[in-house]
Amino acid sequence: MGKLWLIAARPKTLPAAIVPVWCGCVLAWKLEGNWSAWLAFCTVVGAVCIQIATNFFNDAIDAEKGADTVARIGPTRVTASGLISRKAVFVAAGAFLLLAIACGVVLFRAAGWPILWIGLPSLYLAYGYTGGPFPLAYRGMGELFVVAFFGIIAVMGTVFVQTGEWREEAALLGFQIGLLSAVLISINNLRDREEDATTGKNTLAVRLGDLPARLVIWAEIKVAALSGIFWFKHAIPSLVLATLPIWTLGTYLAWRVLREPAGKRMNQLLAMGGLLLVLFAMAFQIAALVWGTGNELRFGPKLHSGWKSR
């Protein structure tokens, strides 16, 4: 049974929750010379719990709507396969949201009301991504959701928790990470395009068609790479080096996406996209460490309030 729950949690998707917090903490350290390990821990645990809850809701709701069928060529979905009941999956999703709320309380005490502005929509959209009156995944808005919540908002929120400031640098980093995370969902939707078209799941790939959907993935990778130029504007040119994995592995991935027939081999490209996201985070940390300006690590919470900007 434990293995089934692991399948439902989709551990290969978790880098999309971890990388924004990881890089956000690195950026906070780069900007301020210090960071709080305790707040970082609560932030990443909360983000991972929301990601797992989203995956559970997606598994149960797609099965209920008939979006996952026997023709599926992606990983096993436990509800549609009858391996775990829909009710049990919903209960598990709710439990992970409660864990996320517990982490959010810690972050609220440290950073104040802005955490609610970030946290409440994130909690709802764990369900609203595929459920509710306007499910984003069924309206072709999945990529936009990922860029916004798993990119810009996640990184800016992490940096705010650490520094008490909303920073333009965090928006830039979040945009890059959001695009690389969107690559994952775009490949997933390209792989499932034909099945989704028959079940009413109108993803962006379904709406655009095969070739435009492939070009979207190419554009996500290229724009993420080119956006690195703006680190010169923020007088941190060393962080441009974080785009090296995008120019190398990302370019190869984009080439494969344009040539690979839709099918099970897309799962290899999906794994490559996850690796690209992790390699970007590693390159970002190395660039920040090698050309860093501070390295103070605090293990206690940093309490702050207010709204600052630079």
Structure confidence at residue 265 (pLDDT) = 86
* Pair of tokens at residue 114: 């802005």
The total of other beta-carbon atoms located within 10 Å of residue 279's CB is: 18
* Pair of tokens at residue 305: 């309030």
The listed CATH number (3.30.70, 3.30.530, 1.10.3470, 1.10.600) that belongs to domain 14-292: 1.10.600
Structure confidence at residue 263 (pLDDT) = 80
The CA distances from residue 10 to 14, 51, 128, in Å, are 7, 9, 18
Say how far residue 65 (Cα) sits from the centre of its chain: 24
Structure confidence at residue 74 (pLDDT) = 64
Which run of H or of E encompasses 35? strand 34-36
Judge contact between 31 and 100, C-beta under 8 A.
Answer: no
Structure confidence at residue 70 (pLDDT) = 54
Structure confidence at residue 308 (pLDDT) = 43
CA distance 135 to 60: 14
Identity (one letter) of the amino acid at 254? A
Structure confidence at residue 306 (pLDDT) = 40
Which run of H or of E encompasses 184? helix 168-191
Give me the residue spans of the domains in the chain.
14-292
pLDDT per residue, tens digit, the chain (310 aa), is: 678 899 889 898 899 999 999 999 999 999 988 899 999 999 999 999 999 999 999 999 988 887 666 555 667 788 888 888 999 999 999 999 999 999 999 999 999 999 999 999 999 999 999 898 889 989 999 999 999 999 999 999 999 999 999 999 999 999 999 999 999 999 999 998 988 888 888 999 999 999 999 999 999 999 999 999 999 999 889 999 999 999 999 999 999 999 998 888 899 999 999 999 999 999 999 999 887 554 434 444 444 434 444 4
Structure confidence at residue 307 (pLDDT) = 41
Of 31, 21, 23, nearest in space to 285 by CA: 23
CA distance 192 to 204: 11
Structure confidence at residue 297 (pLDDT) = 40
